[in-house]
Amino acid sequence: MADQGIKTILVTGPTGYIGGRLIPRLLAGGYRVRALARHPENLEGRPWTGSVDIYKGDVFCGAGLDEALKGADAAYYLIHSMADTADFEAFEEVSARNFARAAKAAGVKKVVYLGGLGGDAASLSHHLHSRHRVGEILRQAGLNVVEFRAAIIVGSGSISFEMIRYMAERLPFIPCARCMRDTLCQPLAIRDVLAYLAAAMGSRAADGKIVEVGGSAVHPYRELMSIYAETRGLRRVFFSCPFWSPALCARLVGLITPVPAVLAKPLLESLKNDVVCSSDDALRLFPEIKPLDYRTAVQYALMRVAENNVETSWTTAYEPHYAKPCSFIDTEGLILQDHFITVEAQAESVFRVFSGIGGERGWFYAQWLWDPKAFQDRLIGGVGMRRGRRHPDTIHQGEVLDFWRVERVVEGRMLLLRAEMKLPGKGWLQFETKPQNETSSVLRMTAYFEPRGFLGNLYWYCLYPVHTFIFRGLLGEIRRRALALPPAN
């Protein structure tokens, strides 16, 4: 319930991991929501876009802030700069000062900020120190600030959790420095983070306070990876590593995982600091929120894959790089192989072609590679291609299509297939077309793979050249067939 006359709320960082999930909660709470983004076009297609007032702006430059905050009763500050520059501390300070000035001038009644745990000590890492410093800047401006401080946020897509995920998934033998054995962490599930953030807007008791939030248990970092591996059914061996260099380890993380070294380094530096709640203020101020334990939080984080919810998690997190006809991206626990071409035909014609793939028509290109794969799948107890499809021209969600299941259909635009063949992981194949103008369109083909452990990753990387050959040829064949069709009425 709204408090202090708060009706209109600005959310900064709406394209980010937290902001994009918080907005629908605020809308459900009856608030009028605004969103400030550097690239508003990246918000297109979200289920809530039509219910939000979107402003173009840049907090670091100060652009668009005054307009977005004018008439706003409250705001969420959910911005960080680690991914933008190695000198993120200076960037974050400038951004915080710009926002604080504009919020104060606009008469904002409440600012909710999500920072990081860790004691206020000189030994804090640069990352944690910067998180604390941003909170200080917001308060020094005279704003009513509710600052939540959290450790690792457990949820698919959270960068800290993804580092744990990839290390446990891809390394059968995991090096373990002393800080990973001794330093303590109190991870918090993403659903609990969102619950705290949303509840703060209706709470007077939390006004002006720093509230430390964490899950129901404390673990050393090594244990976090061990619990993740157990949850995934992976056997992992940890061995002592006497040498510890955040810079060197960041480069290793950059090689093993999709997390870039520039982003991994400040996070790894923070391993020297315990990130544990020093008070029970969160439980006292928000007694209705019962934080999950880490193991349960991991299970919820992985449930996205178990429920085959890829299109809702990936379409909001990934933006196609149309400047490149082919891209290979490894992020959020999924490997993504993306190809696109321009087709001199209407999008409706392109959709008619790819929605008719499979069954008696076959797979358009390199059928001599599809057939052995189907035969191999049958040999190991899989479904093979014998099931075909219900109708040669029409397709509906939930139907069988050879050794795929139709996960989602957007008529005239998109077809998402989920693999039901036996694989060392879970796979999806998506066809999508978008109009470029009245006579041409863009055809995009994307393969998603959720590998299971080391063998799953090895399988996909070994097949990458084969997939590239097939996908490029398949796109060309779809284009040829679309050009041969009469224009759609």
pLDDT at res. 159: 76
- Per-residue model confidence (pLDDT) at position 441: 93
Place 431 in a pLDDT band, splitting at 50, 70 and 90.
very high
Percent above pLDDT 90 for the chain: 42
The closest alpha carbon to 21, from 131, 153, 137, belongs to 153
pLDDT band at 4 (very low <50, low <70, confident <90, very high): low
Return the number of other C-beta atoms located less than 10 Å from residue 455's C-beta: 12
User: For residue 241, what pLDDT is reported?
Assistant: 80
- Identify the burial level of 428 via C-beta atoms within 10 angstroms of its C-beta, where 0-12 means exposed, 13-18 middle and 19 or more buried: buried
For domain 310-484, which CATH number applies: 3.30.530.20, 1.10.260.30, 3.40.50.150, 3.40.50.1390? Answer: 3.30.530.20
167, 265, 454, 456, 459 from 380: Cα distances, Å: 30, 43, 20, 16, 16
Burial 325-364 (b: 16+ CB within 10 A, else e): eebeebbbbbbbbbbbbebebbbbbbbbbbbbbbbeeebb
What is the spatial distance between Cα 113 and Cα 135, in angstroms, rounded to a whole number? 7
pLDDT in tens, 197-222: 999 998 899 999 999 999 999 999 88
For the segment 367-390, the average pLDDT, to the nearest whole number, is 79
Q: Please report, for the chain, the start and end positions of each structural domain, with discontinuous segments joined by +.
A: 8-306, 310-484
CA 289, distance to chain mean position in Å, is 24
What are all long-range contacts of 267-272, with beta carbons under 8 Å and residues at least 24 apart?
267/82, 267/127, 267/159, 267/160, 267/163, 269/125, 269/126, 269/127, 270/116, 270/118, 270/125, 270/127, 270/128, 271/177, 271/179, 271/180, 271/183, 271/221, 271/246, 272/123, 272/125, 272/179, 272/183
**Confidence (pLDDT) at 86:** 56
pLDDT over threshold 50, residue 8: yes
Q: Cα–Cα distance between 132 and 100 in angstroms, integer? A: 15
Judge if pTM exceeds 0.85. no
Q: Given pLDDT bands bounded at 50, 70 and 90, which one contains residue 259?
A: low
Q: Tens digit of pLDDT for each residue in 20-49?
A: 899 999 999 999 999 999 888 778 777 898
pLDDT averaged over every residue in the chain: 84
Residue 85 reports pLDDT greater than 80: no
- Cβ 33 vs Cβ 43: under 8 Å: no
Q: Between the ranges 60-74, 264-278, 301-315, where is the mean pLDDT highest? A: 60-74
pLDDT confidence band for 74 (50 / 70 / 90): very high
pLDDT score for 189 = 93
d(CA 205, CA 188): 22
Positive or negative torsion for Cα 285, 291, 294, 300: negative
* Across 270-280, average pLDDT: 87
Higher pLDDT, 182 or 478: 478
> What are the pLDDT digits (tens) for 223-258?
999 999 999 888 988 888 877 777 778 777 766 766
119 vs 122 pLDDT, higher one: 119
At 87, is the pLDDT very low, low, confident or very high (cuts 50, 70, 90)?
low
More confident residue, 126 or 294: 294
pLDDT at 122 (0 to 100) = 62
Percent of the chain with pLDDT over 70: 88
Average pLDDT of the residues in 398-425 = 88
Q: How does pLDDT run across 302-323, given as a tens digit for each residue? A: 876 455 443 223 233 333 333 4
Q: Would you state the pLDDT for residue 329? A: 47
Instruction: Yes or no: say if 347 and 434 are a contact pair by the CB < 8 Å rule.
Output: yes
pLDDT tens column, 187-200 = 999 999 999 999 99
Domain 8-306 has CATH 3.40.50.720: yes
Residue 304's pLDDT is 60
* Structure token pair of residue 219: 């673990």
